Structure formats: C-alpha cells, structure tokens
Amino acid sequence: MRAVLAKHKITRGVSPEKLRLILEDLGPTYIKLGQIMSLHSDILPKAYCDELMKLNSEVTPMPFEAVLRVIEQSYGISWQEVFRFIDEKALGSASIAQVHRAQLLDGKDVIVKVEREGIYDLMSRDIALLHKAVKFLPPVGDLKNLVDLDMILDEMWSVAQEEMDFLKEAANMEEFAKNHTDVAYVYVPKLYKKYTTSHVLVMEYIRGIPIDDAETLESQGYDLNEIGRKFVNSFIQQVMEDGFFHADPHPGNVRIRAGKIVWLDMGMMGRLSERDRKIMVRGVEGIALHDTQLVTNAVLDLCDFWGEPDRDRLYDDIKLFLEKYGTTAMGKINIADTMQALMEIMKANKLAIPHGMTMLARGFAHIEGVLSKIAPDINMVDIAALRVQDSFLGRIDFREEAGKILRSTWRAIHKGPEIPSMTAEIMSEYLKGRA
C-alpha cells in the first residue's frame, strides 16, 4: 500500500480521480470497496461518488486451474461429472468472481460464476488493515469529520460478504423472478439450483443485446421508445410495489432478448420497507404540492440522526430545494438529480440516509443514463407518476379517506367562523391526503 500511495504522491489530501486510481492500483479488494463507497452519496461528496462509479471492475482472471479447483472443492466431485465442457477463457473477471461459458452434461448452455480463490481471506485481511490505517488516512472532503469510518468499513464488509455468498444471489434471483411472474416483458435467467453453492453459481446462458446498444436494437426491428418505457416500468414496479430492486442496472446487467428485458447479476439488490415506501410517496406528494413541511416531515421520518437535527435549518434548506425543483414541469424533472439534491440536504443536516435510498439513487442514475442513449424523449417521471397513481388508487381505503376528510372538516369548523379559511383548510387537507 505504501508503494501505491507514494506512486500517487499522497501528501495533502486525495482528489476524486486520484482516489479512483489508487483503489484500482491496490487491487480487487479495494476496487470492491470503492464500488460500495460510490453508493454513499449521503456521506461522500458527489464528485467522489461519481468518480468511483467509473472504477474499472475488470481484473486479471485467475488461472483456469484455480477455477476448476474452486468448482471441485465446492462440489466435492470432479467438474466433469457436472459439465461437458467449461470455456477456459473467462467472459468477465471482476473483484469477487469471474464467469465462464459452459455446457451441462445434458447439453444445456450455461454460465458458471466462480468466486475468486481465497478472496474471503484476502478481503478480511485488507479490511482489518484498513481499520488500523483509517486513523492515518489523508482527508477526503469532510468525510473524516462527518462519520465514523470504522462503521462504514463494517458496513462495506457486510455488503461484500453478502456478494461472496452465491446462495444469497440465488435467493435474490428466485425472489426477483417470483415478483415478475405475471410481467410478460421481463425475463430472469433460469437458475440451476442443483449446481449452485456458496462459491459457484450456474444459470442459463443469455445471448441478448445490451440495452444501450441502440444501433443493433434498431437493426433488429426493436422500438427503442417501447423498450425505454418497459425498462422504466419494470424498475418502478421493483421500487414502489415490490420494495426489492436491482441496485446496479447498468447496461452490462440488462439485455434484450426476444422482445423481453432480461435482468442479470442479482448480487447487489436494494430493499425498501413498506414504511419507507410510504414515507417516500409522502415526500413526492409534498414536492408536487410545494409543501415544505410535508417534505421536511418525510425526511425526518425517513432518516436516522448523526446528532440532534436543526429542524429550522432543515426546513429552510428544503424550502430552497422546493423553489428550485417544486415548480419544474413534470416532464422535465430528472429523478436522479432531484434525489441527489435532496440527499445533499440530508448530508448537510447530518441525517443518516437509509442504505436502500442511496442504492435507489444510483439505480435511477443508471436508468436515466440508458434512456439518454436509447430513448432521450422519454421522461421517467411521467411513467413513474402513472405507475404510482395506478398503484395508489388500487390501495386506497375509501372508508379511511372519508374519515380523514370528516376529521379535517371538524377541525376547520372549530378554528373559526371564516368560511374562506375553513374551505381552504379542507381543500388543503383533502389534496394532501392527511388527517
């Protein structure tokens, strides 16, 4: 590590680009840590998160002999008792695993994902080293003064451990597939559970077209706007209805085959509880109504506190936020930018954002990046609004809503005899859906 730091002349802090280059030079463990850090726009300056998203995850593949060794140690039998052949050349090699084309004994074409030999022990040692070294790291923005870096390292290690357990990824695939059983335009590769272990995952081989390859898609007769709409609809369903979403929907993980959107690589998934989803809907409602207090309350309900929040400052910050975004035409809103601006406010007010929300912001950024390449005229907000509206109307308890209106009316009557004021409050409460 000292040699790498010396190479990059670390003396008075680390710029975003320099941090990325350092992590790439340090190898697989640090690349993975950097990728996880890029999700933390709640605590890391946006410039660093944006740069870390560029981390080159392609690393030198481990020797084929090591691939076979991991497979056989995991299965307890010869690899030839499961596969007819395994391509020696890796299709891709990342920090935790690499993938190879293969064929089962029955002739089915599959992908074999194999964990890097010794990666768990290597990452465990590196994390322990970082815990010791973190006190001596040069400053990165205000990061050291804002949070407990040891706590962040613990979270990173927890996430990395989940990614190293392919049984967890297999369970993610099954849950994701179940959620999309009735969605005709979404496809999840078949999982060969019989041949999947903690260190080896086997799934159907997909030959599809990367979703951002507009030229190839058009040459094969696809309607790019239709693909864009389906892509957004699928993601909005994952977020607002399932509460279980693909947290890394970059073009390499989403393909088009036979008119369907194929979702790949379920190693990094995000979750939003029903409570968090309801709070987020309230926040969106507050933005739409230009209601500073409603948005402020939603933010406070959603976040944990690093310290006692300054509610007046938060209110003022959100008021300025609404002055910028609350009057933007629906079709011109950029969800990723809006979420990022709101998270900057949370960070400035020392509010801890749920991990699911930071992953969601990253997901929206990828989605909008794909749309800019294949269907730039499609706005995610328009589609999301219709989807949320349909979902919301389907869940309304009209008896409860009627009760809210009656309670609002009763309160308004007792606040004074002025009819205009009473009417204004009733209408305000009705529009907000609040009692």
Note the Cα 336 to chain centre separation in Å. 11
- C-alpha 202/C-alpha 149 separation (Å) is 36
Q: Which of 42, 248, 291, 317 is catalytic?
A: 248
Could you tell me which residues come within 8 angstroms of residue 104 by beta carbon, excluding any fewer than 6 positions away?
Answer: 82, 83, 84, 110, 192, 195, 202
Taking each helix axis as running N to C, give the angle between helix 274-289 and helix 380-395, from 0 to 180 degrees, rounded to the nearest 10.
120
- C-alpha 358/C-alpha 355 separation (Å) is 5
Find where tokens 């959100």 sit: 318
Assign residue 257 a region (left: φ > 0; alpha: ψ between -120 and 50; beta: otherwise).
Answer: beta
Note the Cα 59 to chain centre separation in Å. 23
Query: Which backbone phi and psi does 252 adopt, to 5 degrees?
Result: -70, -20
Known catalytic residue at 248:
yes
Tell me, letter by letter, the H, E, C secondary structure of the chain.
CHHHHHHCCCCCCCCHHHHHHHHHHHCHHHHHHHHHHCCCCCCCCHHHHHHHCCCCCCCCCCCHHHHHHHHHHHHCCCHHHCEEEECCCCCEECCCEEEEEEEECCCCEEEEEEECCCHHHHHHHHHHHHHHHHHHCCCCCCHHHHCCHHHHHHHHHHHHHHHCCHHHHHHHHHHHHHHCCCCCCEECCCECHHHCCCCEEEEECCCCEECCCHHHHHHCCCCHHHHHHHHHHHHHHHHHHHCEEECCCCHHHEEEECCEEEECCCCCEEECCHHHHHHHHHHHHHHHHCCHHHHHHHHHHHCEECCCCCHHHHHHHHHHHHHHHCCCCHHHCCHHHHHHHHHHHHHHCCEECCHHHHHHHHHHHHHHHHHHHHCCCCCHHHHHHHHHHHHHHHHCCHHHHHHHHHHHHHHHHCCCCCHHHHHHHHHHHHHHCCC
Tell me which residues are annotated as active site.
248
